[in-house]
Structure 1
Amino acid sequence: MAGNLTASTDDIDAFANSIRTQHDSLSQAIQQLRTLEHNTSASWNGEAAKAFTSFMEIYFSQAARMNDQLQETADKIAKASGKTTDHDQHSAKAVSAVIHNMTLPN
């Protein structure tokens, strides 16, 4: 049996913001590593240096793509939170309209 997820829009927004914080931290870590790689490569010559630089460029490319996906995930979660709020408001209006139009016996 599937479980039910209960989360307020504030909870969902907080989760999206947490993901954004992780994205920002990861961006900084990638930049710091890129600086270290650049400093290492600047004083290193030869085939091993070329292989290392090539490997690191692939790594940085993949890390950037992964981090972009993290940001996109946060954006999608935040967007879903807004849709949930819109849906709740729409449902509340629909229920209010039904109640308003009901004719109950005295």
Structure 2
Amino acid sequence: MLDVSFWELLIIGAIALVVVGPERLPRLMRTMGLWAGRARASFQSIRDEVEREVNVDSVRETRRAIDREASEARRSVTDAVGQVEKPADATDKAEASTPGDDGDKPR
């Protein structure tokens, strides 16, 4: 995250020792450590929330794609059933309207 080397930290510590003094330096370092930990936890929380939201969006998009595919499959099955029913209906009507066909009736 921050690219701070050992020597840079040593210089910052020496300046803090001169500015704050040896009595308050441990308390200052402890407070700085607490704030750094809280900031790190806050950033991690934000990162986790963003990752969850991104994952939720991808799941929603996947669901939409599956719904589209299911709708297309349903439509094609309905069309196929309609195409099968039309010739069957036409055949039934043709058989019913054939004149002089008394196949089962005795004379």
The TM-score range, normalised by the shorter chain, is 0.5 to 0.7
Structure 2's unaligned 5+ residue stretches are 87-107
TM norm structure 1: 0.57
Q: Give me the whole-angstrom Cα distance separating, in 2, the residues matched to 1:83 and 1:53.
A: 44
* CA apart distance, 1:100: 0.6
Q: CA deviation at 1:42?
A: 4.1
Give the distance between the partners of 1:42 and 1:89, measured in 2 at CA: 62
What does residue 90 of structure 1 align with?
66
Quote the sequence identity (%).
7
Q: Which moved more, 1:41-50 or 1:85-94?
A: 41-50
Question: Which protein shows a greater Rg?
Answer: 2
SS of alignment partner, residue 46 of structure 1: coil
What corresponds to 2:90 in structure 1? none
Q: Distance in 2 between matches of 1:87 and 1:59?
A: 42
Per the TM alignment, residue 58 of structure 1 is displaced from its structure 2 partner at its CA by 0.7
What is the CA-CA distance between 1:55 and the residue it aligns to? 0.8
Q: Are positions 1:41 and 2:16 aligned together?
A: yes
Q: For the aligned residues, what is the CA RMSD?
A: 2.4
Measured in 2, the distance between the counterparts of 1:85 and 1:47 equals 59
In structure 2, the residue matched to 1:65 is 41
Q: Which has the higher contact order (CA 8 A, sep 6+)?
A: 1
Match of residue 78 from structure 1: 54
What amino acid does structure 2 have at the position aligned with 1:90? I
TM-score, L = length of structure 2: 0.57
Cα separation, 2, equivalents of 1:52 and 1:87: 52
Gaps in structure 1 of 5+ consecutive residues? 1-26
